[in-house]
């Protein structure tokens, strides 16, 4: 099992990407291919200890900038570390790919180079987020800002297959993000999507309101990519703000300062439990291969975990499971359509 890493992608590349790769090959049983400027990577690796047979370099002469437009990067950066890393998967030289570089370009490159799975209309990003007990998956977290009901239906199947594989749960609870629990609540998009999901071969538990997302109301939350991105970013921003506000209140109280010192282990534990780094990135589901998009600010721990999840997704053939489930679904749907016509 080999995972290709865009070693030049991310705000702290290549130092942090290389550190994450070293940790991954040291801790886990797969290989990593560092893709990027060979000389630069050799310098970064120099003097470091790691199992040499599990970490190789694949040279690429260019790097994608964080502000580059996807269309331009696709056309002009044919030898970028990102593109070469994705091509390693296409050509069978790697089983999965991870990049913390420009996420728009990574999405476009993965789609363009690997292609969509049969029966998939719109690939989607599946973000893993921390809840009261454990984690949940949010799909689509930002790939598709304008959706049709059929797209949400498809996202549900993709999120289902992904959750099954990563958390070993045979029948994850799938919920639709809406503004009320009743079938009739929602906007035009979610009301139509609700009808499709009700008849889907999934453990669909209905609409769920924003307030119940973090209390473990479901395992997979389905929404369009605009909503998903807003939910993801609002959550990150609010969690940061609450911790900062609490710290500020504490700093202004004398007994609070002592209290804070005593609380530090609990706050550390809380942070660990809600740490996005635990899964290191979000896969683009619905493409013909395994591609994980990590945050530009990823730590080495996030990179290490993204590599781990990438290997696991590939090992469990998540994209094939998606293909099978969507095939069965489209078969059923077309059957129903034929029946309706006759």
Q: Is residue 230 close enough to count as binding a second copy by CB under 8 A?
A: yes
Q: Which two tokens stand for residue 328?
A: 């069965």
Q: Which residues pair with 130 in a beta bridge?
A: 135
Q: Lay out the sheet containing 2-6: strands in order across.
A: 55-59, 31-36, 2-6, 96-99, 291-293, 282-285, 124-130, 135-139, 220-222, 174-177, 204-208
Q: How far apart are CA 84 and CA 9, in angstroms?
A: 12
Nearest Cα neighbor of 60 from 85, 43, 42, 31 is: 85
Which region, judged by CB under 8 A, interacts with a second copy, from 34-42, 106-114, 158-166, 218-226?
218-226
Least distance to a second copy, CB of residue 102, Å:
13
How big is the chain, counted in residues? 342
Contact 292, 281 (CB under 8 A): yes
DSSP string, 225-288: HHHHHHHHHHHHHHHHHHHHHHHHHHHT-HHHHHHHHHHHHHHHHHHHHT-GGGT-SEEEETBS
CB contact set of 171 (below 8 Å; sequence gap of 6+): 203
x-or-dash pattern for a second copy, window 94-133, by CB under 8 A? Answer: -------------------------------------xx-
Residues numbered 168-207 forming contacts with a second copy, rule: CB under 8 A? 177, 179, 186-188, 190
Q: Is residue 273 close enough to count as binding a second copy by CB under 8 A?
A: yes
Which region, judged by CB under 8 A, interacts with a second copy, from 11-19, 29-37, 150-158, 241-249?
241-249
Q: How far apart are CA 298 and CA 303, in angstroms?
A: 6
Contact 182, 207 (CB under 8 A): yes
Which region, judged by CB under 8 A, interacts with a second copy, from 30-38, 117-125, 240-248, 309-317?
240-248
Nearest Cα neighbor of 143 from 118, 121, 164, 117 is: 121
Least distance to a second copy, CB of residue 5, Å:
26
**Number of chain residues interacting with a second copy (CB under 8 A):** 59
Contact 157, 325 (CB under 8 A): yes
Q: Is residue 222 close enough to count as binding a second copy by CB under 8 A?
A: no
The residue from 109, 229, 294, 314 that contacts a second copy (CB under 8 A) is 229
Least distance to a second copy, CB of residue 192, Å:
12
The residue from 150, 209, 275, 324 that contacts a second copy (CB under 8 A) is 209
Q: Is residue 234 close enough to count as binding a second copy by CB under 8 A?
A: yes
Residues numbered 242-271 forming contacts with a second copy, rule: CB under 8 A? 242-246, 249-250, 252-253, 255-256, 258-263, 265-267, 269-270
The residue from 71, 72, 238, 328 that contacts a second copy (CB under 8 A) is 238
Residues numbered 32-71 forming contacts with a second copy, rule: CB under 8 A? none
Q: How far apart are CA 290 and CA 268, in angstroms?
A: 32
Q: Is residue 227 close enough to count as binding a second copy by CB under 8 A?
A: yes
Nearer to a second copy, 129 or 197 (CB): 129
Residues that bind a second copy (CB under 8 A): 131-132, 142, 145-146, 177, 179, 186-188, 190, 209-215, 224-227, 229-246, 249-250, 252-253, 255-256, 258-263, 265-267, 269-270, 273-274
């Amino acid at each position: 099992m080999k995972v290709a890493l865009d070693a030049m992608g991310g705000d702290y590349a290549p130092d942090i990407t290389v550190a994450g790769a070293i940790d991954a090959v040291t801790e886990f049983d797969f290989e990593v291919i560092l893709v990027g400027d060979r000389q630069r990577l050799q310098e970064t690796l120099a003097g470091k200890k790691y199992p040499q047979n599990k970490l190789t370099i694949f040279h690429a002469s260019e790097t994608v900038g964080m502000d580059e437009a996807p269309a331009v990067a696709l056309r002009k950066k044919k030898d970028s570390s990102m593109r070469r890393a994705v091509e390693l998967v296409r050509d069978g030289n790697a089983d999965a790919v991870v990049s913390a570089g420009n996420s728009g370009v990574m999405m476009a490159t993965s789609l363009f180079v690997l292609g969509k799975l049969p029966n998939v209309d719109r690939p989607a990003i599946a973000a893993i987020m921390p809840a009261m007990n454990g984690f949940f998956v949010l799909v689509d977290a930002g790939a598709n800002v304008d959706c049709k009901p059929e797209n949400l239906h498809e996202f549900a199947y993709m999120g289902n297959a992904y959750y099954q594989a990563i958390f070993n749960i045979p029948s994850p609870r799938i919920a639709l993000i809406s503004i009320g629990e009743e079938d009739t609540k929602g906007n035009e998009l979610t009301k139509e999507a609700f009808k499709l999901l009700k008849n889907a071969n999934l453990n669909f538990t209905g609409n769920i309101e924003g307030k119940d997302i973090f209390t473990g109301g479901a395992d997979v939350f389905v929404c369009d990519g605009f909503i998903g991105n807003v939910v993801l970013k609002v959550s990150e921003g609010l969690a940061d703000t609450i911790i900062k506000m609490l710290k500020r209140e504490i700093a202004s109280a004398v007994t609070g300062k002592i209290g804070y010192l005593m609380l530090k282990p609990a706050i550390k534990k809380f942070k660990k439990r809600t740490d996005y780094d635990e899964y290191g990135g979000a896969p683009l589901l619905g493409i013909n291969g395994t591609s994980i998009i990590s945050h530009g600010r990823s730590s080495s721990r996030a990179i290490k975990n993204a590599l781990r999840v990438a290997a696991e997704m590939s090992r469990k053939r998540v994209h094939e499971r998606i293909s099978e489930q969507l095939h069965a679904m489209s078969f059923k749907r077309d059957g129903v359509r034929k029946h309706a016509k006759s």
